[in-house]
Structure 1
Amino acid sequence: MAAPNGERPSRPPQKRFFHRKKFCRFCTDSNIKIDYKNPIILNNFVTERGKIMPRRITGNCAYHQRELTVAIKRARSIAIMPFVTAEGR
């Protein structure tokens, strides 16, 4: 609702959230390898509906995100990982 003198009512100041920079899990820890035969690691990068999470959410670099996508698709094609989980149906 507008004020009678034509000015907008003032809002309380918004809190600014600080987002931490996400680092690629595979670049920081060289012990973790992307392998299509390891569904335990691959399941961390898939949503509960079976979709591959994007880079902006996982924090992976472009190189490792591409490797991860290929590994997930390979694991799905040889039935190590499901295309859709039971919760996603």
Structure 2
Amino acid sequence: MAYNKNDRNSNRDDKGDSPMRRRNTRRRKKVCAFCADKNHTGIDYKDVNKLKRYVSERGKILPRRITGNCAKHQRALTVAIKRARHIALMPYTLD
């Protein structure tokens, strides 16, 4: 009889590290960093250090589901990053 990889796992329970098991875990909802900060003065395109946190290592603007920002602040952040890129404070792409 030939050895088959699928036969050895057929007797196991599905309670292990199956993808269905991992999918059911709930993650904590991210809170908008700008809404949570009471001393928030606004999103400024000249504040490059703050804007860099919301850009990937390839230079792309990170989406809301990753950053946890609300829609209002994500739009303002996107405009600020685009303005900073336009006047060469931030690069369009990173090498």
Aligned Cα root-mean-square deviation (Å): 1.8
Are 2:70 and 1:67 aligned? Answer: no
Q: Which runs of 4+ in 1 moved over 4 A?
A: none
Are 2:15 and 1:12 aligned? Answer: yes
Q: When the two structures are superposed, what TM-score results if normalisation uses the length of structure 1?
A: 0.80
| Structure 1 residue 76 displacement after superposition | 0.1
Are 2:30 and 1:27 aligned? Answer: no
State the one-letter code of the partner of 2:14: R
- Deviations along 1:41-76, whole A, 9 cap, x unmatched? 000000000000000010000000000000000000
Instruction: Please list every run of 5 or more consecutive structure 1 residues that lacks an aligned counterpart in the other structure.
Output: 3-7
Percent of pairs identical after alignment?
54
**Secondary structure in structure 1 of the residue aligned to 2:26:** coil
| Structure 1 residue 30 displacement after superposition | 3.1
**Secondary structure in structure 2 of the residue aligned to 1:67:** helix
Instruction: Report the more deviating stretch, 24-33 or 49-58.
Output: 24-33
Whole-Å Cα distance in 2 between the matches of residues 60 and 77 of structure 1?
Answer: 23
Number of corresponding residues: 81
- Hey, which of these two has a bigger chunk of helix by percent? 2
Q: When the two structures are superposed, what TM-score results if normalisation uses the length of structure 2?
A: 0.75
Match of residue 52, structure 1, among 50, 61, 76: 61
